[in-house]
Amino acid sequence: MNVLRKRPQRFSPSLGAIYFWLFTLFMYLPIGLLILFSFNDGTTLSFPLRGFTLRWYEALWQSRELITAVTNSLLVGILSSLVATVLGTMAALGITRFDFPGKSLFLSMAAMPLVIPAVVMGVAMLIVFTRIGIPLTLWTVGIGHVIINTPYAMLIVAARLAGFEAHVEEAAMDLGADYWGTLRRVTLPMAAPALAAAFLSSFTTSLDEFAVTFFLVGSDTTLPVYLYSQLRFPSRLPLVVTLAAVMMVISVMIVIAVEKLRRMTS
């Protein structure tokens, strides 16, 4: 019955597999190299490897600037992701549970930060903040990150909300719960994995964001800004690589967590 399976295959199936695994290697190789060289006992980044060391990791702990940058990034990341998750959830509720005039207009507006080049977003916000006299600090960076992440958060939560019918909520309300009670005790708990996924994916984006941050950061530093500033000094490259390796491993772990949460939701 299934003709597809009986059909003589023009490609041997392993050819596709070989290509797939070569491609996967290509995707992971640069990341692997960063991690490999973070343990390399040499002052330049070049082959051959010079032996195993943990001294770059020790040096990381001793850099005061770095610790400031990490603290700043965590603060901005946590706060902006919380706000983005809340705003995104609100928008997701609005677009999946209500019909209102201007809905498609709102959707167009909310989709724009997803596609507009980062440099445009960065300079447009820079102009406004400078014009109305808001000094460039971590706060302005945070606002930028909220705008970047709210549309993503909205999409993640809306996908979950569209996944279960409004019937459950209607049932709760028929049984006497008011709207906000239903929201708090039925809708949001059911969407909780999506909320967590939205928060975590906003958080990883925020930790890593450079292109917009660059324009809004003023004289403060976040982790990517610090990393970028260190690139000018060749002697610090091993340290940069080590920091990069740490950030990479952490972000891979968060990404896998987000993926697990999203699997739970669909």
Partner 1 sequence: MASISTPFDPQAPAAEKRRLLLIMGPPTLALLLFFMLPLGVMALYTFQSGTLGGGMTWSLDTYRRFWQDSALHRLLWRSALVSLQTSLWCIVLAYPIAYYLVFRAGERRMTLLTLIIIPAWTSYLLRILAWKLILGTEGLLNTFLLWVGWIERPSPILLFSQTAVIVTLVYVWVPFVALPIFAALERMDKRLLEAAADLGSPPWHSFLRITLPLSLPGVVAGFLSVFIPTLGEYVTPLLVGGVNGIMYGNLIQDQFVRALNWPLGSLMSLVMLLALLPMFLLFRRSDEVLQP
* Contacts to partner 1 from residues 137-176, by CB under 8 A: 143-144, 146-147, 150, 154, 166, 169-170, 173-174
60-79: which residues touch partner 1 (CB under 8 A)? none
Sign of CA dihedral 81, 79, 224, 36: negative
252 binds partner 1 (CB under 8 A): yes
Q: Are 126 and 133 in contact (CB under 8 A)?
A: no
Token pair of 236, please? Answer: 């610090």
Q: Are 242 and 86 in contact (CB under 8 A)?
A: no
Segment contacting partner 1 (CB under 8 A): 56-64, 67-75, 188-196, 203-211? 203-211
Token pair of 90, please? Answer: 């609100």
Cα distance between residue 225 and residue 216, in whole Å: 11
Q: Omega before 117 cis (within 30°)?
A: no
81-140: which residues touch partner 1 (CB under 8 A)? 86-88, 90-91, 93-94, 96-100, 106, 108-113, 115-121, 123-128, 131
Least Cβ distance, residue 208 to partner 1 (angstroms): 4
224-243: which residues touch partner 1 (CB under 8 A)? 224, 227-228, 231, 237, 240-241
Q: What letter represents residue 226's amino acid?
A: Y
Segment contacting partner 1 (CB under 8 A): 53-61, 70-78, 80-88, 190-198? 80-88
27-46: which residues touch partner 1 (CB under 8 A)? 27-28, 30-31, 33-34, 37, 44-46
Q: Which is closer to partner 1, CB of 192 or CB of 248?
A: 248
Q: 115-121 long-range CB contacts below 8 Å, 24 or more apart?
A: 118/211, 118/212, 119/211, 121/147, 121/148, 121/212
Least Cβ distance, residue 43 to partner 1 (angstroms): 12
Q: Which is closer to partner 1, CB of 81 or CB of 96?
A: 96
Least Cβ distance, residue 71 to partner 1 (angstroms): 18
Total of residues contacting partner 1 (CB under 8 A): 96
Q: Tell me the longest C-alpha to C-alpha distance in the chain.
A: 72
Question: Read out DSSP for 219-262?
Answer: T---HHHHHHHHTT-GGGHHHHHHHHHHHHHHHHHHHHHHHHHH
